[in-house]
Amino acid sequence: MSRGYKLDLTLISTLVERWRPKTYTFYLPCNECTITLEDVSLQIGLSVDGPAITGSTIVPGKVGLYKSLLGKVPDKFEGGRILMNWLKDNFNELPEDLEDRTEERGDLGQKPDIIIVSNLISIDVLRDCQRETSKRKGVQREEKRREMVGPVRPQFVLFGSSIVQLSFSNGGWGAILADVYARKADILLRGYFGWNSRRAIQVLDHVFPKDASTQPELIITYFGGNDSMGAHPSGLGPHVPLPEYIENMKQIVNYLKGLSDSTRLIFLTSPPVNEERVNKYASEHFSHLVRTNELCQTYADACVKLCQELDVKVVNLFTAFQQRENWMTDCFTDGVHLSAEGSKIVVAEILKVLKEAEWKPSLHWKSMPTEFAEDSPYDIVGADGKTTLNPSEWTFHQEIQWD
């Protein structure tokens, strides 16, 4: 059997899905279908009575058999098999008079409620096979796409509101991390301008699906700046009451912890703001915005306390910024969003946490392997004219030599 038949896993999978063990039938869109001994006798020319036989058998009159069962005869025969391509070309569309034509073939022993295996099962199974094959090809294309960008690197995801979305702009902290971790990890941006913790929990399973084939090694999360804004009289706007903010952040922590045992978390608190600049340069398109350092500190302290209770790494940006001289003028572009100088503070604090964390494996950039770091005769030739210089660990281009 193994020499004469090809095992079609897609076909088998499709038939299994359509089999109903309680009724011993295949459930097809047109009706139910089963295979009887009489079908076997008619289609392969074997008697259902008498002693069992083994070995090869020749079915006489294949032309008549094909014509009676399928209404068409293949151009060529390959033993007793029907080529799927031939079925696809000839039976891709069901004829409109199919029910009438099947009822007319009463001489084949067909009954009103049970249809003998013929062109009906061939067509329906073929369609299911096509869908299954298309699905598999889609998965294969996705796998091929991933292979095209080389080996899978560790993934660091930046998740949060505008402080995250803008982190690749104006010398932002996301861009700096991407540079520091070049050839070590992929920095993925999942930032959403204007969002609060309330909106974040609504999309957790979309941004971080638990059934994903790979999970991030590190997720850096920031929510709080918009939550801490003063409440608007209309009830609209990003403000989230402090108790709800704490509960939302707790829900985010627990969800992200459940992604995998190897996923590490760092949370960032709300930084301070330049209140004078916020009020002075408020846009005419906005209603009055209430942003105060008193509110920022309250929400920052709540975030720190929650993370300590849940054993999660946290960076207190509210205090870190204020340790720098002239922070109010140097660290913001508009009094709220970060300038390049403000982003450097964020990077320094994150790298400090990564260096001190006792995670195995370490996620600090100096401890992580570099992709394709082996020496090569194609590297730049050194001053001695005999050896090459491996540039895979060079950092001289960086404005700051990060620790």
C-alpha closest to that of 321 among 330, 313, 312, 334: 330
Structure token digits, residue 241:
């009451």
**DSSP-derived secondary structure letter, 46:** -
**DSSP-derived secondary structure letter, 346:** H
DSSP-assigned beta bridge partners for residue 145: none
- Residue 165's identity, in one-letter code, is Q
What is the rounded CA–CA span in Å between residue 132 and residue 11? 9
Cβ-based neighbours of 387, under 8 Å, separated by 6 or more: 381
Specify the DSSP element, H or E, that contains 267.
Answer: strand 264-268
**DSSP-derived secondary structure letter, 194:** T
DSSP calls for 130-186: HHHHHHHHHHHHHHHHHHHT-SPPPEEEEEESHHHHGGGSSS-HHHHHHHHTTTT-E
Cβ-contact 120, 103 below 8 angstroms: no
Structure token digits, residue 104:
């007319």
Q: Which of 179, 186, 330, 334 is catalytic?
A: 334
Q: Which of 118, 122, 161, 343 is catalytic?
A: 161
Q: Which of 39, 337, 343, 364 is catalytic?
A: 337
Give yes or no: 270 in active site: no
- Residue 68's identity, in one-letter code, is S
C-alpha closest to that of 363 among 218, 147, 206: 218
Name the residue with tokens 């005869």.
73
C-alpha closest to that of 214 among 266, 167, 259, 175: 259
Report long-range pairs for 202-209 (Cβ below 8 Å, ≥24 apart).
204/252, 204/255, 204/256, 205/255, 207/159, 208/157, 208/159, 208/255, 208/256, 208/259
Give yes or no: 261 in active site: no
Give yes or no: 362 in active site: no
Which residues are identified as catalytic?
161, 334, 337
